[in-house]
Structure 1
């Protein structure tokens, strides 16, 4: 992982691996079954299967991926918790995006949320805001559910009605919900601004990670990124062109706190093992 400070923008480069997986139904143990019976918003994640597919879990032990995300989350958490003159507006709202599809942004968003959930005094809400092509629930092995779009479309529907609790104690999930042809306008609406303000301020110990659409493909990403305190842009190693990266960064140049994740790398100069590198 590389960290460089240029003006007000911080860039963080991280090498991680991505795995393509096939998903099936989860198998809940007795404790999870009881929890689900008493709470209709409770969902059981098959952590063993996620770990087998290379995803980060609390039971996964020490791995290169776990170490990658321990490093990448530190500056994000530090800025989210900043106070006084260094406080960032909506600093606890972190959006994960990319220039183009297929660069691994959902993989990074889910693993970042999982890593943050391991903190002792923080809860994390993982929001699937890629409303045109939602994939967070698929990655986690869950079926589609009502979520963000439903709350924006129905004033009578509370966010608490669609947030899912999980068997990861500090992890909550807000699905994308139903698709809508006016998704860009909904994400740029006053209702969305009010929702983000509520999410950012209601729980002081909560970090919110948004999986966003790609910047160069959809207009929804711009409506969303502009309202976030911190931006994480995923760059696919040896695939994403320099032009695409520069154009994506140009489109979000008004954002002061931008981090880069260098994803799908198989080696990093200066390291003896597969994983990450850190440079000042």
Structure 2
């Protein structure tokens, strides 16, 4: 039986360790450590490289401020942003000297734990609502040693205000600066459906917007980009393209 968020909050103690069914994810065509060199895995190797350069810097370019905070969003629901966020997190977790925190910030319709086949847990909203709840109380360790998860937690009608609050700013600073080797991937709400998405995006170092091939209109893409025009580092993933036989293709545009 699945435990409620309230029951999980009452457990307290050390960070929980959860088991992700990696074989199930592999069967769904998603990126896993042992999944081999699949087309999707190779696509996300390409997608992650410029994001990592921006986050960590290289010989010629300094790292972006909070460049290790990367939000994955879309214009509309159903474009595949959660699958892209999970795949991106899994791919980055394969790096030799990086740890990844995957945050479900789609607080109205959380999907990360569902995609991973896991029950609901306390998380982000619980930290912002309860002063006695710390980040370490709700982070979930996983059987992928370099990957942890921060669930969305309980829904709240004041989610926009909470995400725009000083508490959220302090939390983001803690997440960004506490561990130098950490990349944080946020699964965000769609930009054209909620105000939470643009509020969250404004606080990120990098934005990845997922666009569904042959479905999302040009008007919707332009309108979504207008919502994040104040953010200088935006990249696009062209998702679910059938341009190549044998499955989905993830194109990357910076």
For residues 254-269 of structure 1, what are the structure 2 equivalents within 5 Å? 254-268=230-244
**TM-score normalised according to structure 1 size:** 0.82
**TM-score normalised according to structure 2 size:** 0.91
1:199: which partner in 2? 175
Distance 1:59 1:278 in 2: 24
Distance 1:209 1:279 in 2: 18
Conservation of the 8 A alpha-carbon contact between 1:95 and 1:231: yes
2:34: which partner in 1? 59
**Tell me, what secondary structure is at the counterpart of 1:112?**
helix
1:74: which partner in 2? 49
1:48: which partner in 2? 23
* Cα offset, 1:273, TM superposition: 6.4
Distance 1:277 1:193 in 2: 32
* Cα offset, 1:87, TM superposition: 3.0
Conservation of the 8 A alpha-carbon contact between 1:267 and 1:273: no
For residues 1-280 of structure 1, what are the structure 2 equivalents within 5 Å? 41-82=16-57, 86-268=62-244, 275=249
Question: Which residues of structure 1 form unaligned runs of 5+?
Answer: 1-23, 26-37
Conservation of the 8 A alpha-carbon contact between 2:67 and 2:206: yes
Query: CA 1:225/1:139 → structure 2, altered by over 3 Å: closer, same or farther?
Result: same
* Cα offset, 1:279, TM superposition: 8.7
Distance 1:237 1:254 in 2: 25
1:16: which partner in 2? none
Query: CA 1:279/1:139 → structure 2, altered by over 3 Å: closer, same or farther?
Result: closer
**Tell me, what secondary structure is at the counterpart of 1:264?**
strand
Distance 2:243 2:31 in 1: 20
Distance 1:68 1:203 in 2: 27
Query: CA 1:139/1:235 → structure 2, altered by over 3 Å: closer, same or farther?
Result: same
Question: Which residues of structure 2 form unaligned runs of 5+?
Answer: 3-12
* Cα offset, 1:43, TM superposition: 0.1
**Tell me, what secondary structure is at the counterpart of 1:172?**
strand
* Cα offset, 1:121, TM superposition: 0.2
Distance 1:195 1:57 in 2: 29
* Cα offset, 1:54, TM superposition: 1.0
1:12: which partner in 2? none
Name segments (4+ residues, structure 1) moved above 2 Å: 83-87, 272-280
Conservation of the 8 A alpha-carbon contact between 1:93 and 1:210: yes
Q: CA RMSD in A?
A: 2.1
Conservation of the 8 A alpha-carbon contact between 1:64 and 1:276: no
Q: Deviations over 1:227-252 (max 9, x none)?
A: 00000000000000000000111111
* Cα offset, 1:190, TM superposition: 0.3
**Tell me, what secondary structure is at the counterpart of 2:72?**
strand
Q: Which moved more, 1:233-242 or 1:246-255?
A: 246-255
Q: Deviations over 1:78-135 (max 9, x none)?
A: 0000279733111000000000000000000000000000000000000000000000
